[in-house]
Structure 1
Amino acid sequence: MTTSATPSAQQARERYLEAERRLWLDHAGREPDVHWAELPTLRSRVRLLELGEGPTLLFLHGGPSAAACWAPLVGRLAGFRCVVIERPGCGLSEPARASLSVREHGAGLLADVLADLPEPPIAVVANSFGSYLSLAHELAHPGVVARYLHFGCPAPSPGSRVPPAFVPSMIPGVNSLLRRLGTWTAESSLRNFTVMGHDREAMSRPALASFLRWYTALMTLTPTRANDQGLFARIRPRDALRPAQLAAAAVPMHFFWGRGDTFGGERSARRLTSLIAGSEVQLVDGGHLPWLDDQAGAAEFVGRVLDGR
């Protein structure tokens, strides 16, 4: 009798959950509670990971990624109830089944999650594609969210770009071919973050070991990569966030931005914040997920922005 080296769906799920559990224990000292939220607009059901007590912060990750990417930051935030959305098709969340534009997808996602929460958040905290989706929600539903904290360059947004190494993975057909031909490894994860502007040596330090193991598990044991690449490939010109639209945003926007962010560095940060009245940017040495480079600074940024709530 022969056996396959490929894990069953249940084995893959259990292995992924163990990597996720280790990441949360390392950075937060405990596992988050898990709540499943129904998303009628997107015809999906997603995981919400909840940790801490106090006023609610709602987190929205970029991609390809999942909720646990926020563990190094959430673990440092005391006095808040952190609710972390696992976007449709990412991690263990169900994919979206509604036929919407990518911009409508973002507006619908946050609208549905906000309706599920027992109380409104005092802020939405977002990164990369999550920042794009949250901005799409703000333009569709102005003023519903009190304020936004963006970590890294919103992608896509005015002044942003896709690092050349990531372009093939966004081309329909090419992305699936690349997934079939290549095997994702721990080295692939490390290389992925260096492409995003993170220092390779810094990403290799012991403090981020469980993060990289979790990310490798995410890429190999869940359909996150295929699902998000498929979503990114659907981005069309109509999904763009126009400068004139962003200029009309009346909600406070705060940016914590890595100078080495390859989706858009300091120049892009200055341009975007100049478009949004009353916005501010704090530049730090780091890449596209700047809380990985400066965990203490990222937590201090959240505390400063929300001081006095």
Structure 2
Amino acid sequence: MGTSQALLSHGRRGAVGGPVTVVLHGGGPGCHAASDFGAVMDARPERSWLWADLPGYGASPATGGPRLATAARALTGLLDALGLDRVDVLAQSYGGSVALLAASETPGRFGRLVLIGSTPTPAPGGVRDLPVDAGLGPRLRQVYAGDGHPDAVRMRALMAGVEWHDGTRVPDALVEARFRADRRAEGATGAPEDLAAHLDAVDAPVHLVWGRHDPFAGPAYAAALADALPRADLTVLHGTAHHPQSERPDAVAALVDTHLGSRS
């Protein structure tokens, strides 16, 4: 793993050589790629995975400036430093918005994108009154850490309440990993920018994956986002909420194979 002021915290898993798939996490407390996507990466050890933690998450230092733009620059900087000219991406929520911005600004750099529950704009394609709750994330953070005393019990409640459809199945080890990561992280600040003006410039094929019970934005939002992107398809997974990569990793891994190509 590498960490510094210049590079995002990152690591490699799976096969050595071949096409690289970058893994980016969401924006919730304690989110980091190695745990959030650990089950998917373990399910496909034949793939070459590069996980990265965005600024303010995991061991990556927080930085100033516009939140998405700063993270997108950090991502392309990491790829430059590692000598990776073209990569695929598997990302969730906030990480998916970062990937869309980076793809819009560096055409040809990103091959194919699989994005889970990402909401890069409140009204994709100009469609209004979609089922999207832009204030849910800040409210959850306030409940979790507003008094300055977050704990693992609150972390479990957060994950069970919005990230998993069946909150009784959240593994203890995942809760602990998220809580430890949150306690180490510097934290990211600022609201993400609205990427509505950037969507037309995303030339990479995108496959959107959505939990049918995602409380941040429903399947109707996902359909509008798919229509707003130049080359996008959509799969809605039943029995999942905002983190299907953790709740149904085998289904997500199969979609990765379908969209990015199987390496078995």
TM bucket normalised to smaller: 0.7 to 0.9
**2 CA distance for matches of 1:113 and 1:95?**
15
Q: Deviations over 1:206-245 (max 9, x none)?
A: xx221112112223x3135xx12xx2xx237xx2111x53
Structure 2 counterpart SS, 1:260: coil
Q: How far apart in 1 are the matches of 2:93 and 2:199? A: 16
Q: Distance in 2 between matches of 1:267 and 1:209?
A: 32
CA-to-aligned-CA distance 1:68-124 (integer Å, 9 cap, x gap): 22111111113211110012221222222xx42223213312210110223335401
* Deviation readout 1:4-34 (Å, 9 max, x if unpaired): xxxxxxxxxxxxxxxxxxxxxxxxxxxxxx2
In the superposition, relative to structure 1, how do residues 248 and 67 fare at CA in structure 2: closer, same or farther (>3 Å)? closer
Contact 2:54 2:71 in 1 (8 A): no
Q: Which moved more, 1:138-147 or 1:116-125?
A: 116-125
**Could you say which structure has the greater relative contact order, defined with CA pairs below 8 angstroms and 6 or more residues apart?**
2
The 1:55–1:194 alpha-carbon spacing in structure 2 relative to 1, beyond 3 Å, is same
2: distance between equivalents of 1:300 and 1:86?
A: 24
Question: Retained in 2: the 8 A contact 1:155–1:263?
Answer: no
TM-aligned CA distance change 1:110 to 1:75, over 3 Å = same
Instruction: Report the 3-state secondary structure (helix = DSSP H, G, I; strand = E; otherwise coil) of the residue aligned with 2:85.
Output: coil
Alpha-carbon distance between aligned partners in 2 of 1:75 and 1:212, rounded to the nearest angstrom? 18
SS in 2 for 1:264: coil
**Structure 1 contact 190–203 (Cα < 8 Å) conserved:** no
Cα 1:78–1:179, aligned 2, differ >3 Å: closer, same or farther? closer
In 1, the alpha carbon distance for the partners of 2:59 and 2:138 equals 26
Kept after mapping to 1: 8 A contact 2:144/2:150: no
Alignment of 1:187-226 (within 5 A): 187-204=153-170, 208-219=171-182, 221-224=183-186
- Alignment correspondent of 2:20: 56
Task: Tell me if structure 2 keeps the 8 A contact 1:127–1:154.
Answer: no
Counterpart of 1:31 in structure 2 is none
* Partner residue, 1:26: none
Consecutive unaligned residues of structure 1, counting only runs of 5 or more, are 1-33
Percent identical pairs in the alignment equals 20
TM-score normalised by length of structure 2: 0.84
Structure 2 distance, partners of 1:112, 1:152, is 25
- Preserved contact between residue 149 and residue 255 of structure 1 (Cα < 8 Å): yes
Cα separation, 1, equivalents of 2:86 and 2:14: 14
Match of 1:106 among 66, 71, 77: 71
Structure 2 residues not aligned, in runs of 5+:
124-129
Q: Does 1:235 align with 2:201?
A: no
Aligned residues: 250
What whole-Å deviation, never above 9, does each CA across 1:46-75 have from its counterpart, x for those lacking one? 321211114211111112311222111111
- Aligned residue for 2:8, secondary structure, equals strand
| Aligned residue runs from structure 1 range 1-309, under 5 A | 34-36=1-3, 44-53=6-15, 54-63=18-27, 64=29, 65-68=31-34, 69-96=36-63, 99-154=64-119, 158=123, 160-162=132-134, 164=136, 166-168=137-139, 179=145, 181-204=147-170, 208-219=171-182, 221-224=183-186, 227-228=187-188, 231=189, 234-235=190-191, 239-242=193-196, 245-285=198-238, 286-307=240-261
Q: Secondary structure at the match of 1:132?
A: helix
Hey, what's the Cα distance between the residues in 2 that align with 1:178 and 1:187? Answer: 9
Larger radius of gyration: 1
TM-score by structure 1 length? Answer: 0.72
Q: Secondary structure of the equivalent of 1:126?
A: strand
In 1, the alpha carbon distance for the partners of 2:59 and 2:230 equals 37
Letter paired with 1:250: D
